[in-house]
Every structure is written in structure tokens, then in C-alpha cells.
Amino acid sequence: DAKTTQPNSMESNEEEPVHLPCNHSTISGTDYIHWYRQLPSQGPEYVIHGLTSNVNNRMASLAIAEDRKSSTLILHRATLRDAAVYYCILGGGSGTYKYIFGTGTRLKVLA
């Protein structure tokens, strides 16, 4: 199974952009790249996903490298409510159910 590698923790100042990196050098051609986040004392929640092209939604942007071996989640203006553990996950391709969760990046947002 393909795995993801993320930094254990990152810090950002409030209202500044945050770039959260993820390496997935063994990604298969059918794996989608998903990002979820987990706020304190809650279950994970969906942020964004993509396959090859960059993606934007109301929460974030996802930039995917041309070779798909890495990706970056971009929070355009971090707020204190964005402090969470962010998971980069591979899966969902070919109609499969299985997601491979890594250990995530703990994002700290400084006021």
C-alpha cells in the first residue's frame, strides 16, 4: 500500500497562508489524494481531494505535483479555528473503499 509522509508539526501566524506538504512517492495511478483534518475532541472532517489537477474549494486549495509524488494543502488565511491535525490520505481509486491514513501534521496557529 502506498504511504504518505508529512511533517509532525507546523506553526503559522493567524491570517497568514499555510502550506502543508505531503510526500507520496509510491502513489499508484488510480490513487486519489485526500486531505482531512481533525479538530480537538472531534472526528476527522473532509477538506479536499484531487487526482491530477489542482483543486480549490471554500476551505482550501490542493496543489498536486506534476509527477503526483507530492502535494500541498494550502490554507489561504489561517485562523485560530484551523488549528488541527491535518491528514494526507491516498485512496478511493478504482472504486475501492480503503484509505491509508498517515499520522498527520499538527498545525498550530499563533494569534
Partner 1 sequence: DVKVTQSSRYLVKRTGEKVFLECVQDMDHENMFWYRQDPGLGLRLIYFSYDVKMKEKGDIPEGYSVSREKKERFSLILESASTNQTSMYLCASSVDRGVYEQYFGPGTRLTVT
All three cell numbers of 88, joined, read 494526507
| Nearest-approach distance from CB 25 to partner 1, in angstroms | 18
Q: Looking at beta carbons only, is 13 or 56 nearer to partner 1?
A: 56
Reported as half-sphere exposure (CB side, CA atoms, 13 A), residue 48 has a value of 21
Q: Looking at beta carbons only, is 5 or 13 nearer to partner 1?
A: 5
Q: Looking at beta carbons only, is 23 or 99 nearer to partner 1?
A: 99
| Nearest-approach distance from CB 63 to partner 1, in angstroms | 18
What 3-state class would DSSP assign to 74? strand
In whole angstroms, what is the distance from residue 46 CA to residue 29 CA? 22
Query: Interface residues with partner 1 (CB under 8 A)?
Result: 32, 34, 36, 41-46, 49, 87, 92-99, 101-104
| Nearest-approach distance from CB 45 to partner 1, in angstroms | 7
What number of residues does the chain have? 111
Single out the residue of 5, 30, 31, 22 nearest to residue 90, CA to CA: 31
